[in-house]
Amino acid sequence: MIMEIEQVMQYLPHRYPFLLIDRVIEMELGKTITAIKNVTINEPFFSGHFPGAPVMPGVLILEAMAQAAAILSFKTKNIAPEDIGIVYFAGIDGARFKKPVKPGDQLVLKVSIVREMRGIWKYTGRAEVGGGLVAEAELMATLRDKPQI
């Protein structure tokens, strides 16, 4: 199941500069998702992280994994975000960063559902560039009502 950016935006409340998924290239509902983030020098964080040696912050790689996980959860449950609310991080375990992600890289995010129990979802996530592992983590999230502002 391929999703272009317009479809991705229907399942994520994030917008520029925090929308970190450009395309979904594969998805098996209830199991896995593979998504793409094209990393460009225009990203606002590169001006300060780090000048002269730009590197994508690890926390944003984890956030990109979480955004892919949210799409997978919404699609698996066959609900849209406006039907229930927002997916919030509940935990991150075993995060490891193997190589820096730089402008021009294509970040391939592979997220799998481990389980869902009492509204808490657990996932494993991998981020790759050029077929090589750059980051991995176990993520936990929960679907909650949107806060009233």
Instruction: Provide the β-strand partners of residue 91.
Output: 140
Q: How many CB atoms lie within 10 A of CB 28?
A: 13
Look at phi and psi of residue 13 and say left if phi exceeds 0, alpha if psi is from -120 to 50, else beta.
alpha
Token pair in block for residue 40: 């460009």
**114/38 Cα distance (integer angstroms):** 26
- Annotated catalytic residue, options 23, 49, 102, 126: 49
49 is catalytic: yes
Sign of the alpha-carbon torsion through 87, 128, 40, 28: negative
Residues belonging to the active site: 49
